[in-house]
Amino acid sequence: MKTAITEMFGIEHPIIQGGMHYVGFAELAGAVSNAGGLGIITGLTQRTPELLAKEIARCHDLTDKPFGVNLTFLPTFSAPPYPEYIAAIREGGVKIAETAGRSPEQYMPALKAAGIKVIHKCTSVRHSLKAEQIGCDAVSVDGFECGGHPGEDDMPNMILLPRAAEELKIPFVASGGMADARSLVAALAMGAAGMNMGTRFIATKEAPVHDNVKKAIVAASELDTRLVMRALRNTERVLKNAGVERLLEIEREKGSKLQISDIHDEVAGVYPKVMIDGDMDAGAWSCGMVVGLIHDIPTVKELIDRIMVDAECLIRDRLTGFLGAESKASLKVA
Ligand SMILES: Cc1cc2nc3c(=O)[nH]c(=O)nc-3n(C[C@H](O)[C@H](O)[C@H](O)COP(=O)(O)O)c2cc1C
């Protein structure tokens, strides 16, 4: 399948694996890229730029195909050394950056000077337009369904994607709630040039996380995610667990007076406990409503091949099947 996104990134299928903390290691990114999608290494999971450089080198060993690096710009006073992370991306020969969080504006000159294509993750049309204006090559439009940070507008993709299509000139992919061929075809119908998946890629054989995480995703339903940190305007969609119940109890008690320090134990240092140790009650970790659509743990290649084969059948059989032989002619007459 050819779209503006496959052309832009030199990939076979319009499927991107979003950066995921403690999930987006070389194993997963390499597997996605080898299967014809775009794999993404999560930059900040590597604690230093030097470690990121090693992770990039490991990914080059696993695949000859294009892959990218996620750089999440955090709302924090003690920012990570972003220029050095960008240098690691540039020197590692990576030509694609998925940026997220705060606007990448201040880092665009460095990224562009290195010939790096930038796809920025946005949860609103206004942020997408800003990304276009500052020179991003594409955007990943993340609806309210998404795992991670859906922003504060609570705009589901059924509205957000067609609105993005109305306003944007640069190509965009649909992100949040994407799981299968139905998601891809619907995203294309709403104007996207591909899709970005997070949660779905965790439940794959190659995802380098504890089996408990994959099993929890398969066992969960679409009703099992919770929104946390709303009072801090840093809303995150997570999978419910005992740690998250404790967190929500504190949030209910503190109301609008909530401070990040009140929930430190339930949000800080949780990812290694969940992803490496498999402690599923450790606290808040991002997970999308799309868990309700995830029923198996295939290899990445099986997943991507299945999506592309099913998408073709959906388009050729189901969708064109709705069109009567006369419909084109009657439209012309009208
Ligand atoms: C476990 C997990 C960790 C994530 N970590 C990050 C991250 O560090 N940076 C980022 O930009 N997005 C992160 N995301 C968001 C994903 O890249 C993607 O936008 C999101 O998962 C899409 O929604 P979906 O889960 O419904 O597919 C994370 C998502 C998950 C599920």
For residue 230, give both structure tokens. Answer: 């709303």
Summarize pLDDT for 23-61 with one digit per residue, the tens.
999 999 999 999 999 999 999 999 999 999 999 999 999
Q: Which of 141, 136, 91, 89 is nearest to 117 (CA)?
A: 136
Choose one of 15, 21, 72, 217 to mutate for the ligand 1 pocket test, by most ligand atoms within 8 angstroms of C-beta. 21
Under a CB-based contact definition with an 8 Å cutoff, are residues 202 and 209 in contact?
Answer: yes
Q: Give the residue, by CA position, lying nearest to ligand 1 atom 21.
A: 198
Cite the DSSP H helix spans in the chain: 4-9, 26-34, 49-62, 82-91, 108-113, 125-133, 157-167, 181-189, 199-202, 211-219, 242-254, 264-267, 270-275, 300-313, 320-321, 327-333
Cα separation, 278 vs 271, in Å, equals 10
Cα dist. 191→119, 137, 141, 142, 171 in Å? 17, 16, 11, 14, 9
* Closest ligand 1 atom to Cα of 178: 27
- pLDDT tens-digit profile, the chain (334 residues): 999 999 999 999 999 999 999 999 999 999 999 999 999 999 999 999 999 999 999 999 999 999 999 999 987 767 899 999 999 999 999 999 999 999 999 999 999 999 999 999 999 999 999 999 999 999 999 999 999 999 999 999 999 999 999 999 999 999 999 999 999 999 999 999 999 999 999 999 999 999 999 999 999 999 999 999 999 999 999 999 999 999 999 999 999 999 999 999 999 999 999 999 999 999 999 999 999 999 999 999 999 999 999 999 999 999 999 997 766 655 555 4
pLDDT (tens digit per residue) in 132-191: 999 999 999 999 999 999 999 999 999 999 999 999 999 999 999 999 999 999 999 999
CA of 312 to the centre of ligand 1 (A): 27
CA distance 200 to 216: 12
